[in-house]
Structure 1
Amino acid sequence: MTVAAILSNKGRDVITVSPDLSIAEVVRILAERRIGAIVVTDGANHILGIVSERDVVRALARGADALNGPVSSIMTAKVVTCTDRNTINEVMTRMTEGRFRHLPVVEDDQLAGIVSIGDVVKARIEQVEREADEMRAYIATA
């Protein structure tokens, strides 16, 4: 199974913000949308960075005044991405090795979606259950 299959079920909409938006506003969007990360893009939909709840917590450790700064000051600028052709196992490996839970999907240097660890685990469980059902059916007919 590939990332394309996940995106066909969940959709390709991604919440994005500009790099000059305040951290406080990003926190409001994360809470309002009930999401764990937000992608920072330029006007041409190129990825500049990503900000997760973890990044916000680290910023707050410096004091509440950090909320007034731009999101570009706390974003992860070297964003690991995938394409919709990557397999679930490849994506799980990237997430595990990088210790992050959100992976933007890129096509032609443009943001084309995002997958979370929850999306990937759900797809993998469905895949394993389907394979188990196929094995049961095969054994029953043997």
Structure 2
Amino acid sequence: MLIEALLKSKAVPGVITIAGDTPVAEAVAEMNRHHIGAVLVVDREKQLLGILSERDVLRHFTECARGLTAEKIMTPRSRLIIGHRDDTVEYAMRVFTNNKIRHLPVLEGDRIIGIVSIGDALKAHLESLEHDNKMLEDYVTGASLVID
């Protein structure tokens, strides 16, 4: 399965973004409101600046009380691993595992087209395995045969 198909199948389409000068407390409230673990940080032209994740907030928790903004603790664009619509879900799973990350922004050129979480990838992979297993069971038992 390609990332493009996974993005189309997500229960909550689109991407939640915030400005770099958004206070961390507001960013956390936004993540809670949407039940997500990360938000993309963008500039006024909606160009990706970085990602703010739960881990970023926890890493800087004691500093957050002093009114930090998202851009002060986000993972910057220069350190992000970016996904593309024609990447496979299996590739994304390897990226998550090898880099110990949970979110993969998906870009087309400089335009943000989505974000994939490790949970999204795992769900899609399990559904694919279940489908393949059902097809094999049907083949072995003859359930898929049509007899005239």
TM-score by length of 2: 0.88
Partners of 2:120 and 2:34 lie apart in 1 by: 16
TM-score by length of 1: 0.92
Return 39-48 or 82-91, whichever deviates more.
39-48
State, as a whole percentage, how many aligned pairs show the same letter: 36
How far residue 63 of structure 1 moved from its aligned partner, in angstroms, is 6.2
Partners of 1:48 and 1:61 lie apart in 2 by: 23
- Give the aligned partner of residue 72 of structure 2: 73
Structure 2 letter corresponding to 1:21: T
**Aligned runs of 1:1-142 on 2, under 5 Å?**
1-10=1-10, 12-62=13-63, 64-65=65-66, 68-77=67-76, 78-141=79-142
Partners of 2:102 and 2:45 lie apart in 1 by: 25
The runs of 4+ residues in structure 1 deviating greater than 4 Å are none
How far residue 12 of structure 1 moved from its aligned partner, in angstroms, is 4.1
Q: How many residues align?
A: 140
Partners of 1:4 and 1:71 lie apart in 2 by: 28
Partners of 1:71 and 1:83 lie apart in 2 by: 25
Asked if structure 1 preserves the Cα contact closer than 8 Å seen for 2:42 and 2:50, the reply is: yes
How far residue 45 of structure 1 moved from its aligned partner, in angstroms, is 2.1
Partners of 1:13 and 1:63 lie apart in 2 by: 27
Structure whose alpha-carbon radius of gyration is higher: 2
Partners of 2:119 and 2:21 lie apart in 1 by: 29
Q: Which consecutive residues of structure 2, in runs of 5 or more, have no partner in the other structure?
A: none
Q: Which consecutive residues of structure 1, in runs of 5 or more, have no partner in the other structure?
A: none
How far residue 106 of structure 1 moved from its aligned partner, in angstroms, is 0.4
DSSP-derived class of the 2:114 partner = strand
Partners of 2:63 and 2:24 lie apart in 1 by: 13
Asked if structure 2 preserves the Cα contact closer than 8 Å seen for 1:20 and 1:72, the reply is: yes
Structure 1 letter corresponding to 2:62: A
Residues 113-135 of structure 1: per-residue CA shift (max 9 Å, x gap): 01111110000000000111111
DSSP-derived class of the 1:111 partner = strand
Task: Report the RMSD for the aligned CA atoms in angstroms.
Answer: 1.5
